[in-house]
């Protein structure tokens, strides 16, 4: 798995020999949370047109999707 690990480090720009201080950790935490928040919003809005929706659920409103996505963010 070492070649896969090195490829992932190179792709993400991570130096495995470098320590992560609190500023880098906070930045990484916020970037990951922002990514998942936006991805969740997109999925919940597009829920009605996505495949594999046998119940025919419609997409959520902006208020509902924001409430759902924000509830899954880190405390």
Q: How confident is the prediction along the chain (75 residues), in pLDDT tens digits per residue? A: 999 999 999 998 888 899 989 998 998 889 889 999 999 999 888 888 888 888 888 888 889 999 989 998 866
Q: What is the DSSP letter of 46?
A: G
pLDDT number for residue 5: 93
45: its two tokens:
């809005």
pTM metric for this prediction = 0.71
**Are the beta carbons of 69 and 63 closer than 8 angstroms?**
no
Question: Of 12, 17, 68, 32, which is closest to residue 59 (Cα–Cα)?
Answer: 68
């Amino acid at each position: 798995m070492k070649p896969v690990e090195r490829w992932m480090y190179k792709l993400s720009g991570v130096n495995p020999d470098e320590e992560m201080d609190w500023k880098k950790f906070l930045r990484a935490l916020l970037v990951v949370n922002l990514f998942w928040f936006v991805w969740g919003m997109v999925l919940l809005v597009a829920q009605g047109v996505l495949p594999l929706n046998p119940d025919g659920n419609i997409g959520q409103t902006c208020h509902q999707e924001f409430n759902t996505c924000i509830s899954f963010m880190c405390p």
